[in-house]
């Protein structure tokens, strides 16, 4: 199965210098299968026109491609209506849209925003901004020793004053699945909305936004086999309807007078300007690809890989693991350090053997501080990775300390 999948990804067979790449940075972005690349090329090579505008066949075709991608996305995450799917450039833009259009007009002094210490900066900095702008308080859910959210914190930090709870479905550093349904229930009990960052989940586990009871759910296409520059904001229709537009301009209007404008209905209200139709075509092909493989298989592949990786990493006495003690809910992300060696030097040495990992703070500086480290290494796996990839990671790791003079 794995080998067939590998052949669908043209970049993974290519040589860079002396090596074909062992790509273990899927938390940052995934590689793209042929079908996605062809869909993007096919759009620009065969159907390119500005959607929603031209009264000619090509524009109608472009509109079809764009709107059918929206419907496919709706089914993919089981939203009630395609009006609840807003295309953005990525998860970051989607989170900013919520911060500006939902939170800024509503929050005031005394209100609370609750996030977790394991958030990516994209689900942290916008909330800091909202808190500073409105006088609201920003509170954190911290972690239990095994890396999962502290249950007591979930119960006590979300209070009658809480208006927004914004948490990641799966942390990009720890790779642990968070109990969104429990947090959503608590948020709804106090009348707050829950914003879920699905950037690390939507490509790895089956997502049903209604089952999760998420009010908002965001993700980036490029972390799920799609091109960069296309992302998704899901929001419950009643919430989106009540929000003012985020960006103003063409295609999001109804009537424009000299002094007044009325806005288009959902979803156009939040899609000002010419949209990324080629990206939407790619996203659509990516969803087809993921559904053809199936999330049962994807989860199985990742579980095999993470189990194998953790087993081998634990054999190396100079490796410290982070967030790897949890008995359940671990996805294909492993964060670690090599004794005495800075993560950037580890990454450089691994790169010389063709192994691509991420090193640094992973856009999660408060989490790094909380874990008591300055930076870490992260290997993140996806459906095309193999046990041989992990063998190459382990072999290269064994050489790091001696190259660094230890």
Partner 1 sequence: MELAELYSDIINEHSRNPGNRRQLINADAQKRGHNPSCGDDITLSVSFDGDVIADAAFTGVGCAISQASADILSDLIIGKTVSEAKTLTEKFLAMIKRENTDDADLADLDEALALKNIANMPARVKCAVLAWRTLNDILTERQSIS
The residues that touch partner 1, with contacts defined as CB under 8 A, are 340-345, 348-349, 352, 359-361, 365, 368, 374-375, 403-406
Distances in Å between the alpha carbon of 333 and those of 156, 187, 213, 291? 29, 28, 25, 22
Q: 277 exposed, middle or buried (CB, 10 Å; 0-12, 13-18, 19+)?
A: buried
CA distance 313 to 168: 26
Closest CA to 308 of 237, 385, 363: 385
The yes-or-no answer on residue 363 being catalytic is: yes
H or E segment at 166? strand 162-168
H or E segment at 106? helix 104-106
Distances in Å between the alpha carbon of 238 and those of 9, 83, 93, 313, 384? 40, 11, 20, 48, 39
Tokens (6 digits) for 71: 């419907």
- Min separation Cβ 352 and partner 1, Å: 5
CA distance 224 to 221: 5
- Min separation Cβ 117 and partner 1, Å: 17
CA distance 153 to 194: 16
CA distance 306 to 319: 16
14 half-sphere exposure, CB direction, 13 A CA radius: 6
Residue 108: how many other CB atoms lie within 10 Å:
9
Omega within 30 of 0 (cis) for the link into 385:
no
Catalytic residue selected from 47, 324, 363, 377: 363
Of 286 and 368, the one with the shorter C-beta distance to partner 1 is 368
Catalytic residue ranges: 363
């Amino acid at each position: 199965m794995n080998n067939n999948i590998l052949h669908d990804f043209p970049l993974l067979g290519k040589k860079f210098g002396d090596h074909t790449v062992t790509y273990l940075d899927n938390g940052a972005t995934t590689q793209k299968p042929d079908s996605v690349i062809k869909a993007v090329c096919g759009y620009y090579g065969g159907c390119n026109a500005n959607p929603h505008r031209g009264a000619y066949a090509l524009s109608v075709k472009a509109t079809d491609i764009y709107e059918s991608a929206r419907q496919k996305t709706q089914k993919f995450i089981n939203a009630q209506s395609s009006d609840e799917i807003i295309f953005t450039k990525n998860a970051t833009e989607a989170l900013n849209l919520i911060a500006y259009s939902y939170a800024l007009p509503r929050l005031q002094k005394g209100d609370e925003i609750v996030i977790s210490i394991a958030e990516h900066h994209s689900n942290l900095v916008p909330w800091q901004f909202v808190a500073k702008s409105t006088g609201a308080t920003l509170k954190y859910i911290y972690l239990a020793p095994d890396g999962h959210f502290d249950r007591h914190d979930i119960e006590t930090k979300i209070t009658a004053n809480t208006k927004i709870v914004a948490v990641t479905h799966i942390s990009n550093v720890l790779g642990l699945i968070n109990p969104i349904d429990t947090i959503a229930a608590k948020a709804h009990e106090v009348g707050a909305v829950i914003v879920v960052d699905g950037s690390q989940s939507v490509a790895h586990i089956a997502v049903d936004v209604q089952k999760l009871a998420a009010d908002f759910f965001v993700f980036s296409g490029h972390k799920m086999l799609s091109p960069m520059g296309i992302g998704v904001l899901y929001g419950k229709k009643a919430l989106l309807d009540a929000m003012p537009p985020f960006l103003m301009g063409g295609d999001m209007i109804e009537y424009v007078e000299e002094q007044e404008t009325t806005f288009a209905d959902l979803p156009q209200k939040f899609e000002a300007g010419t949209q990324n139709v080629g990206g939407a075509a790619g996203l659509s092909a990516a969803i087809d690809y993921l559904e053809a493989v199936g999330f049962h298989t994807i989860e199985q592949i990742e579980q095999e890989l993470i189990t194998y990786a953790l087993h081998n990493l634990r054999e190396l006495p100079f490796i410290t693991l982070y967030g790897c003690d949890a008995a359940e809910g671990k996805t294909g992300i492993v964060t670690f350090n090599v004794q005495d060696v800075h993560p950037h030097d580890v990454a450089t040495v691994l790169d010389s053997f063709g192994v691509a990992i991420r090193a640094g703070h992973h856009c999660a500086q408060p989490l790094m501080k909380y874990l008591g480290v300055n930076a870490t290494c992260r290997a993140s796996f996806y459906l095309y990775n193999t046990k041989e990839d992990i063998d190459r990671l382990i072999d290269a790791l064994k050489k790091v300390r001696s190259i660094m003079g230890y």
